[in-house]
Each structure stands twice: as C-alpha cells, then as structure tokens.
C-alpha cells in the first residue's frame, strides 16, 4: 500500500425527510446569506425547492436563487453565479440537485473568493479556498456530495475538465433516498453505471497488496449488482435506493481508493463524449468501459480475472486466465445493457467520423502531450482504437 493522507470532513444527514434540517445545517456551518443553486426544474416540480426554502426561512436565513444548471454543467452559468454571489454578499452556496448542480455550485464557491478566472482551477490549479458548500442530493451517481472534485464544460470549445481541492468538499450533504424516486429509469441506470465506474477505475491499480481497498470496492460493486436491477424493476424501492445512495457516496469520496494508484482512463475518454454530444456521463461510461477494459486487459490479466470471479461469479481458468478476464468484462457489458444502458456509438448519439477530433482533445487538452495515463498509458493510436471498438 502507498502512503496517503485522507481528509473527508463532510457531515452527512441520511434518510427520510432529512432535508427538513437544511436551515439548521446551513447555520451550523456558518451560512448567513445563501445562494440556492439548482438544475432544470426537477426540484421545482417535486416540491423539494419549496421545502428547502421553508427550512431556511424557519431559521431566518436570507437566500437568493439561481436555477438552470444543465447536465454537463456549463462555464457560462458559473460566471453568472460568481457575479450574483459577489453582488449579494452570499457566504454559503447550497446545491439542490444532482452532480451537475453540485459541481456548478462548487465552481461558483471557488470562483467567488478568487481574483482570477475560475477556469484556472479547471486548468490544473489546486483549489485552496472556497465559500462553504452544502448539498441536497437528488440522484445517486457522481459522488460529488462527498468528493473534492468538480467537473465543468467550457462552452468556449465544448470540452470538459475537472478541478479539485479539499476546500470544495461539501460541509454537509443531505442524502434522502426518497428524493431519488422521481428519477426516470434511464437516469437511475446512468447513476448506477457511474457509481460502478468509480469503483472499477479504483480497482484497476498497479499497486500490489491492497487487500482492504480491493475488498471494499468488491463489496460496493456487489451491492450495485444486487440493488441495481431491483431499483430498475421498482423505482419506489426505498431500501434499494438507500443502499445505492450510500454506495455512491462511498464509491467516490475515496475511502476505498486510498493508498493505491487508480485508473481514470475510462472517465477521461468518456468526458470527451459527454462534452461533444451532451450525452449523460453514465451512458457514455457504459459504452466506454467494456472497450477500455478489453483493450488494456493484458496489462494485468489476473486483476481482471479476480474481479470476474469475485463479482461476476465466473469460473477461474488457471490455464487461460484471459478467458476468465474476458468473461468478466462481457458479464459487466451484459449487466449494463440489462439496466437500459446504450452499447455503442450509435445508441449514444456519437459519430465515427468525429474520432480524430475526440482523440485530439483527449490527448492534447488539459496540458497533455499526446497520451493519457492511468492503469496503462494510452497514446493517440490506442485512444483511436478504443473509440473504434465502441462503434
């Protein structure tokens, strides 16, 4: 295991009606003037926004609002949010929604207290300081409710980049599984896929002897394989929603990723797709992961064979471990299709003729110099081959 530090001070309030304590939590974490940030309207339609406002009013905490966050959140609204916060003396940013809303809120929170362009953080600058952020999560997926990360799409070129810093870890996150019951099945499945991607991308490590985190990841993946189909079958299954919601947080606050190298090539390859085609991140990952895994499998075939046996119940073929490894990847592919995820470029809305463009932004954006690195280093040709496998 490698040396590590781990700092994850988010306060979690989990369970039915947990959002009724929003006002108290904002006060506890120092907020006196709040920006409520939300998405395209699901929280208005569900009545959640009204309940959140009522809770703030009960604590006599003034607030302003900024809705309109789109999935794959855009830089333009972040600039607007920063100006709004400064003009109104906001000292706390409250995200009500999914990963996109939370990430936009984090970007605003970092930008308000920064003299330069907030995009500097999405070009590699570490976030040292930010307004406090609180979240009320409405979809189990991105894990942003417990992560130090934010992903924003730059409208000037439509490319997606991440920023990081413990300062943007939420001060509190309210996780009420019942709030996710209004999700359309497709979005639920996208969330399940993203959570599993966060686990797989940590599982693909070059660090030896990481039994504790291997086993934690396997437990969370097994939970997703058990609960995923149950919630697709019955969207009102509160217990399944609850297990998925907490798994989604644990998958990405890095408690199961410490002390080990991680992959993230699938995420990087996918981010180009959701930036260019505006597809859901989870759907992009469903098409990306089987292709990447198949392409890199030989790098450590025993690792893929191990997960095939432990997660998918495949029979270990000691003479031909690549057979076991491949069977595990195919079982994962079938699982993703079974919950309603797309399987190729066409179903995702991506175009084969765009591959050179995708490869260029992937391999040369974000300060890269012709390759991406993770579990293995992939050059331009590798990336092009992987995109072609998804067609």
d(CA 219, CA 204): 15
Tokens of 245: 């919601």
Instruction: State the Rg of the chain over Cα.
Output: 20
Query: Does residue number 272 form part of the binding site for Zn ion (CB under 5 A)?
Result: no
**Strand ranges, E, within the chain:** 11-14, 34-38, 63-66, 92-97, 133-137, 149-154, 159-164, 172-175, 371-373, 377-379
Tokens matching residue 323: 């057979």
DSSP calls for 296-362? HGGGGHHHHHHHHHHHH-PPP-SS-HHHHHHHHHHHHHHHHHHTT---SHHHHT--GGGHHHHHHHH
Residue 149 as a binder of ligand NZQ (CB under 6 A): the answer is yes
Site string for Zn ion, 52-91 (x = CB under 5 A): ----------------------------------------
Please give the DSSP secondary-structure letter assigned to residue 183: S
Pick between residue 202 and residue 310 the one whose CB is nearest to ligand NZQ: 202
Span near Zn ion by CB under 5 A; candidates 23-31, 67-75, 194-202, 212-220? 194-202
Q: How many residues bind Zn ion (CB under 5 A)?
A: 1
Distance, CA of 5 to CA of 11 (rounded, Å): 19
Contacts to ligand NZQ from residues 182-221, by CB under 6 A? 182-183, 187, 190-191, 194
- Contact segment (CB under 5 A) with Zn ion among 100-108, 193-201, 338-346, 362-370 equals 193-201
Candidates 112, 151, 307, 308; binder of ligand NZQ (CB under 6 A) is 151
Find the binding residues for ligand NZQ in span 104-133 (CB under 6 A): none
Phi, psi of 130 (to 5 degrees): -165, 160
Under the binding rule (CB under 6 A), the answer on residue 41 touching ligand NZQ is yes
In the numeric block, the tokens 């690792």 are attached to 303
Site string for ligand NZQ, 56-95 (x = CB under 6 A): ---------------xxx----------------------
Q: How far is the CB of 198 from Zn ion (least distance, A)?
A: 6
Among 194, 214, 227, 272, interactor with Zn ion by CB under 5 A: 194
Q: Is 178 exposed, middle or buried (0-12, 13-18, 19+ CB in 10 A)?
A: middle
Nearer to ligand NZQ, 155 or 381 (CB): 155
- The reply to whether 100 sits near ligand NZQ by the rule CB under 6 A is yes
Query: What residue ranges bind Zn ion (CB under 5 A)?
Result: 194
User: In the complex, which residues of this chain contact ligand NZQ (CB under 6 A)?
Assistant: 39-43, 71-73, 97-101, 103, 138-139, 141-144, 147, 149-151, 179-180, 182-183, 187, 190-191, 194, 252, 267, 281-282
């Amino acid at each position: 295991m490698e040396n590590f530090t781990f700092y994850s001070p988010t306060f979690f309030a989990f369970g039915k009606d947990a959002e009724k304590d929003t006002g108290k939590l904002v006060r506890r974490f120092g907020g006196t003037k709040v920006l409520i940030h939300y998405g395209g309207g699901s929280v208005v339609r569900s009545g959640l926004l009204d309940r959140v406002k009522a809770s703030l009013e009960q604590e006599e905490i003034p607030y302003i609002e900024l809705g309109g966050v789109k999935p794959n959140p855009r830089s333009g609204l972040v600039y607007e949010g920063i100006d709004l916060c400064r003009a109104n003396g906001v000292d706390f940013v409250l995200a009500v929604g999914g990963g996109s809303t939370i990430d936009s809120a984090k970007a605003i929170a970092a930008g308000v207290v920064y003299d330069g362009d907030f995009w500097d953080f999405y070009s590699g600058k570490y976030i040292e300081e930010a307004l406090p952020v609180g979240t009320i999560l409405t979809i189990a997926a991105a894990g942003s409710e417990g992560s130090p990360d934010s992903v924003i799409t730059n409208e000037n070129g439509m490319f997606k980049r991440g920023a990081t810093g413990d300062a943007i870890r939420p001060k509190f996150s309210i996780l009420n599984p019942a709030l996710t019951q209004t999700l359309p099945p497709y979005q639920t499945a996208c969330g399940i896929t993203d959570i599993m991607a966060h686990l797989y991308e940590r599982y693909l490590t070059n660090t030896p002897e990481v039994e504790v985190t291997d086993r934690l990841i396997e437990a969370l993946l097994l939970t997703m394989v058990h609960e995923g189909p149950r919630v697709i079958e019955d969207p009102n299954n509160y217990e399944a929603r609850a297990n998925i919601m907490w798994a989604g947080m644990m998958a990405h606050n890095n408690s199961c990723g410490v002390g080990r190298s991680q992959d993230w090539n699938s995420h990087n390859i996918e981010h180009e797709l959701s930036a260019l085609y505006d597809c859901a991140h989870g759907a992009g990952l469903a098409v990306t992961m089987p292709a990447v895994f198949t392409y890199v499998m030989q790098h450590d075939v025993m690792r893929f064979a191990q997960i095939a046996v432990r997660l998918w119940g495949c029979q270990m073929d000691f003479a031909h471990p690549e057979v076991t490894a491949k069977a595990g990847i195919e079982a994962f592919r079938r699982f993703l299709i079974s919950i309603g995820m797309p399987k190729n470029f066409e179903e995702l809305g991506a175009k084969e003729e765009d591959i050179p463009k995708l490869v260029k932004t992937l391999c040369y954006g974000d300060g890269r110099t012709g390759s991406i690195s993770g579990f293995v280093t992939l050059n331009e040709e590798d990336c092009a081959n992987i995109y072609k496998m998804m067609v």
